Amino acid sequence: NAGVTQTPKFQVLKTGQSMTLQCAQDMNHEYMSWYRQDPGMGLRLIHYSVGAGITDQGEVPNGYNVSRSTTEDFPLRLLSAAPSQTSVYFCASRLGKRGSSPLHFGNGTRLTVT
């Protein structure tokens, strides 16, 4: 039972490069979301999706794009990486229809932008 799988685990980018962080879940969860966590801080919501074809912005969406073409996958795209985007990125999912469902988190992608 894989749960939420994030790839890659580590990534180093140069300023201006683009990349996509992958997130996949095998629990048939409708709701998926991306968070970033800076050192010593809590998690901040970047984008979320309540189902295939539906996405919305969280607290810190600037510099990131998302799409949700399938229930299983929710990739996060950095179009032009900046040093301020150096962080640990977590993907999380939960059942959508039932309100009282907890989030399941992946193990994170550690991104460094130089």
Partner 1 sequence: DAKTTQPPSMDCAEGRAANLPCNHSTISGNEYVYWYRQIHSQGPQYIIHGLKNNETNEMASLIITEDRKSSTLILPHATLRDTAVYYCIVRVDTNAGKSTFGDGTTLTVKP
Structural element, H or E, at residue 44: strand 43-51
Residue 27's nearest CA partner among 102, 82, 114 is 102
- 18-47 binders of partner 1 (CB under 8 A): 30-31, 33, 35, 41-45
Distances (CA, A) of 39 to 22, 43, 44, 83, 103: 22, 10, 12, 14, 22
- 45-84 binders of partner 1 (CB under 8 A): 45, 48, 50-51, 56, 58-59
Minimum separation from the CB atom of position 96 to partner 1 (A): 4
Q: Which of 7, 107, 112, 114 binds partner 1 (CB under 8 A)?
A: 107
Q: Residues interacting with partner 1, by CB under 8 A?
A: 4, 30-31, 33, 35, 41-45, 48, 50-51, 56, 58-59, 88, 90, 92, 96-97, 99-100, 102-108, 110
